[in-house]
Amino acid sequence: MSVQAPESNVPAVLTAREAGVRCGVSFRTVIRWVERGELQAYRLPGRGDYRIKVSDLKDFAARHGLPDPEGTIEPSPVLNRVLIVDDEPSMARSIQRVLRTAGYETLIASDGFQAGSLLHSFSPALMTLDLRMPGLDGFGVLQFLRDGSPRPSLRVLVISGESDDCLRKAREKGAHDTLAKPFSNEGLRAAVQRLLPLRPSP
C-alpha cells in the first residue's frame, strides 16, 4: 500500500520510470504494481509522483524472480535457445523433448514471473507460451514484453488449448504465431522452425 513520505532520513529512492528501467518494464507497469499493493511506494507531498525505495524494489524483484534492479545490461539472445513457458509439467517436458531432439537448447519456466527472470539470465531467441497459467498468465507476459525494454529479436509462439478467438487475441497482443493444443510433434517442430530456423554449428 502507498504511504506518505517521511519528513527526514529518506533513503535512496527511484521514480516509477527509473524503477521501470531497472526492471526492464515500462513506468506504467511499475505504477500498476504499486496500485495493486504489490510494491511499496510513497507519494511526494503536494504531488502525485510515486517514489520507490531501492531496497523495496530489490525485495520485490527477488520475490517475483525479476532481474536484480542493480544488475547489468540486457544480454543478446542466443541463437537456437528456446524458453518453454507452461505450468503443466508433462506438457512442458513434452515440448522440451521434441525441441531438444530437433537440436534446440531449452529451459522451462512454470509461470510468467519465472519467465520474466529467465528472459535475462537464459537469453532465449524464442519463447513458447501457454496462455492459461496461475499468477501472471500468457496475456500478462505478452503485455510485459510490450511494456518492457525492446526485444526485437525475441520471437513468441503461443501454444494453447484456448479458443480460436483467444489465439487471435494473442497474435494481436504481440505473439508472432500460435499453435493449438493438442498438436503433433511435427506440427510443433514446424511452428518453431518457421520462427527460429536452426543454424548449423560452427
**Sole residue written with cell 530437433:** 102
Q: Cβ neighbours of residue 180 under 8 Å, at least 6 residues apart?
A: 160, 161, 164, 167
Most confident range (mean pLDDT) of 36-40, 150-154, 158-162 is 158-162
Torsion over CA: 45, 5, 41, 150 (sign): positive
* 8 A C-beta contact, residue 38 and residue 52: no
Please give the mean pLDDT across all residues of the chain.
Answer: 81
The domain defined by 7-63 folds into Multidrug-efflux Transporter Regulator; Chain: A; Domain 2 (1.10.1660)
Query: For residue 129, what pLDDT band results from cuts at 50, 70 and 90?
Result: very high
Closest to 98 measured CA to CA, from 190, 5, 201: 190
| pLDDT(1) > 60 | no
Q: How far apart are CA 101 and CA 122, in angstroms?
A: 19
Report which of 131, 113, 85, 134 is spatially closest to residue 29, judged by C-alpha positions.
113
Strand segments, DSSP code E, in 66-123 are 78-85, 105-109
- Cα atoms found within 13 Å of the Cα of residue 143, Cβ hemisphere only: 14
Q: Which of 80, 108, 105, 103 is nearest to 92 (CA)?
A: 108
pLDDT at 50 over 90: no
pTM: 0.63
Residue with the three cell numbers 501457454: 130
- Could you tell me which residue, 1 or 187, shows the higher pLDDT? 187
pLDDT at 197: 87
DSSP 3-state assignment of 95? helix
95 pLDDT above the threshold of 80: yes
**Strand, helix or coil at 63?**
helix
pLDDT tens digit sequence for 8-36: 333 478 888 888 777 767 778 888 889 88
Right CATH number for 78-195 from 3.40.50.2300, 2.160.10.10, 3.40.120.10, 3.90.1150.10? 3.40.50.2300
Residue 108 has pLDDT above 90, yes or no: yes
* pLDDT value at 144 more than 90: no
The confidence score (pLDDT) of residue 6 equals 38
Query: Which set of grid coordinates corresponds to residue 9?
Result: 532520513
pLDDT at 198: 76
pLDDT of residue 143: 86
Q: Which residues, 6 or more positions from 6, have their beta carbon under 8 angstroms from its beta carbon?
A: 42
- Going from N- to C-terminal start, the domains of the chain cover 7-63, 78-195
For the segment 63-84, the average pLDDT, to the nearest whole number, is 69
Compute the distance between CA of residue 52 and CA of residue 54 in angstroms, rounded to an integer: 6
Q: Say which residue, 11 or 95, is predicted with more confidence.
A: 95
* Residue 86: pLDDT over 90: yes
Q: How confident is the model at residue 5 (pLDDT cuts 50, 70, 90)?
A: very low
- According to DSSP, residue 174 is labeled T
